[in-house]
Structure 1
Amino acid sequence: MILRIDSLTFRYPNGTTALDGVSFGVEAGERVALVGPNGAGKSTLARHLIGIERPASGTIEIDGRRTDGLAIAELARTVGFVFQNPDDQLHASSVAKEVGFGPRNLRFAPDRRKELVESALRRTGLTDLVDAHPHHLSLGERKRVALASVLAMDTPVVVLDEPTTGQDHRSVALLGNLVDELAAEGRTVLAVTHDMDFCAEHFDRVIALEDGRIVADGPVEHWLARASRPTGHAFELPQLTRLGRRLGWQTPVATVEGFLDRLTSDAHDTAEAPAGP
């Protein structure tokens, strides 16, 4: 298990409890979406994984090591964190320098560093922007630079905080493909997200938080079924799930592939139905 959190509790200095007894584990290669309303504790939980926040009580274990006392620089060898606002982490004078900073700081060998930087730039569609100043780029481009800088560090865990915010359709599609590729490579991806379409298309598991507690944890299909019920928790359903409900489908469908399969199945059933008198 790459990540284990046990009874994690966190309070802000004003006494507000942001996380209250949170416990779960994540296997290597899993794609896990952290969802919930604003103030549920999602980003606070994510920041614990890189040591920006520290527990009031409870433990966090990453790649077999407890994080107690580990510095942020040490945790960065295992967990790559892409902030919601890329300006919180971009600092270099060019895209190439920004993406190369992490592997250089981790003292990777020159050949490996070069390979990782080139791969990260290619995978994020930034090869034509290597000489550009990050702060002269659009928000979507800056978010891709931040993502590339984390990919180049080759961490086994990648954490994305609201990765689709400010991204156009092309960038969201690129990001979704990257999430799928990272999981296929055995790397673990956790994403804090309000984008339920992105969640349903590219994640296997959903952990839903409310008021600092986990209220649901399981496969994305189970979460959709629960959220679709009138008594379920108030989450925005994916567009295709809402469309399926309008078509009278009882079983939630959230992906394009699943939606087309269901349409094909319904058309087949209609064709097979006996003609009326």
Structure 2
Amino acid sequence: MPIVLSDASFSYPDGSLAVDSVTLRINDGERIAIVGQNGAGKTTTVKMMNGLLKPSSGSVTVDGLATTDQTTATTARTVGYVFQNPDDQIFGSDVQGELEYMPKYLKWDAEVTEQRVGRAAKMTGIRRFLKVNPNDLPFAIKKFVAIGAILVGDCKYVILDEPTAGLDDRGLKLLNRMMDQLEAEGVAVIAITHDMRFVVDSFTRVVAMANRKIIADGSCEEVFGNDDVLSRAKLKRPEVPQLARELGLSTTALHLNAVVALIR
């Protein structure tokens, strides 16, 4: 069953509105990028998905259960959230201890723990760092440690907040391989990102937000080909479709090989 936000709004105690009547459905195995400028409501929206924030009005359900009827810890076991800054999430004295925290807290069987930790370490490329203190690792590696700690659990949905920040090409390739595996396993990936190239290369669905509302929900071609959406969300058109436009070609061409084919 999906994550469903139905006219979900969130206001802070001082009355300021952070998200205004958002309606959104996320199905198993989807890859969705949520884009928009700072203050658009992206982070508040995804925090409502995993129970870190409860809607002030409307509803948010995960697999048919309202988040308001569950503890944050319960919802987070189904909807994992990886923070933008890994230092806000990591607290273990070594990487293995970080990955084993959830299994120990939930008192998993030792064999299951070993299997899940090994899987997460392999997917995130951090097996050789298991005995290292996370504080001694480069920022990019720490990001994968934070992701691995979430993947140890049996999440059906994984939220990644600015996952490409600080990653080089090797890290981007690893991130995409990981998302490919999650998709193959039926795990949905929801990413908040300002990296439009990453969006075009890695996602099939884009949700654009502006002024605390969703203003577009569709394919990359639909969203990045819509001048009004780009203007309202204050987004720059990705490099390849911008090049296509400057050449007088179709702005729905998202990849360089497609532009080359149009020129020929």
Q: Secondary structure at the match of 2:32?
A: strand
Could you tell me the percent identity over the aligned residues? 36
Deviations 1:245-274 (A, max 9, x none): 23322232224xxx214414533xxxxxxx
| Amino acid aligned to 1:108 | W
1:248 aligns with 2:248: yes
Q: Secondary structure at the match of 2:186?
A: coil
1:207 aligns with 2:207: yes
Q: Structure 2: how far apart are the matches of 1:266 and 1:138?
A: 43
Q: Secondary structure at the match of 1:68?
A: helix
Kept in 2: contact 1:227–1:233 (CA 8 A): no
Residue matched to 1:95: 95
Residue matched to 1:25: 25
**Residue 228 of structure 1: how far off its partner (Å):** 8.1
Q: Secondary structure at the match of 1:23?
A: strand
Q: Structure 2: how far apart are the matches of 1:227 and 1:26?
A: 25
Q: Structure 1: how far apart are the matches of 2:96 and 2:107?
A: 17
Kept in 2: contact 1:180–1:202 (CA 8 A): no
Structure 1 stretches of at least 4 aligned residues deviating more than 6 Å after TM superposition: 228-232
Deviations 1:197-240 (A, max 9, x none): 11111111111111111100112221111148886643122222
Residue matched to 2:106: 106
Q: Secondary structure at the match of 2:28?
A: coil
Is 190-199 or 108-117 further displaced after alignment? Answer: 108-117
Where do 5+ consecutive residues of structure 1 fail to align?
A: 268-277
Q: Structure 2: how far apart are the matches of 1:142 and 1:135?
A: 8
Pick closer, same or farther for the CA change 1:241–1:105 going to 2, 3 Å.
farther
Q: Structure 2: how far apart are the matches of 1:236 and 1:73?
A: 37
CA RMSD of aligned residues (A): 1.8
Q: Secondary structure at the match of 2:249?
A: coil
| Amino acid aligned to 1:83 | F
Kept in 1: contact 2:210–2:232 (CA 8 A): no
| Amino acid aligned to 2:263 | D
Q: Secondary structure at the match of 1:7?
A: strand
What pairs with 1:52-201 in structure 2 (closer than 5 Å)? 52-201=52-201
TM-score (norm 2): 0.94
**Residue 100 of structure 1: how far off its partner (Å):** 1.6
Kept in 1: contact 2:222–2:252 (CA 8 A): no
Kept in 1: contact 2:242–2:251 (CA 8 A): no
**Residue 19 of structure 1: how far off its partner (Å):** 0.5
Q: Structure 2: how far apart are the matches of 1:107 and 1:60?
A: 29
Q: Secondary structure at the match of 2:68?
A: coil
Where do 5+ consecutive residues of structure 2 fail to align?
A: none
1:260 aligns with 2:257: yes
Count of residues paired in the alignment = 264
Q: Structure 2: how far apart are the matches of 1:30 and 1:7?
A: 21
**Residue 168 of structure 1: how far off its partner (Å):** 1.6
**Residue 42 of structure 1: how far off its partner (Å):** 0.3
Pick closer, same or farther for the CA change 1:49–1:106 going to 2, 3 Å.
farther
Residue matched to 2:48: 48
Q: Structure 2: how far apart are the matches of 1:101 and 1:173?
A: 27
Between structure 1 and structure 2, the one with the greater Rg is 1
TM-score (norm 1): 0.89
Residue matched to 1:34: 34
Q: Structure 2: how far apart are the matches of 1:227 and 1:97?
A: 48
Q: Structure 2: how far apart are the matches of 1:157 and 1:238?
A: 27
Kept in 2: contact 1:82–1:160 (CA 8 A): yes
Pick closer, same or farther for the CA change 1:22–1:230 going to 2, 3 Å.
closer
| Amino acid aligned to 1:11 | S
Q: Secondary structure at the match of 1:216?
A: strand
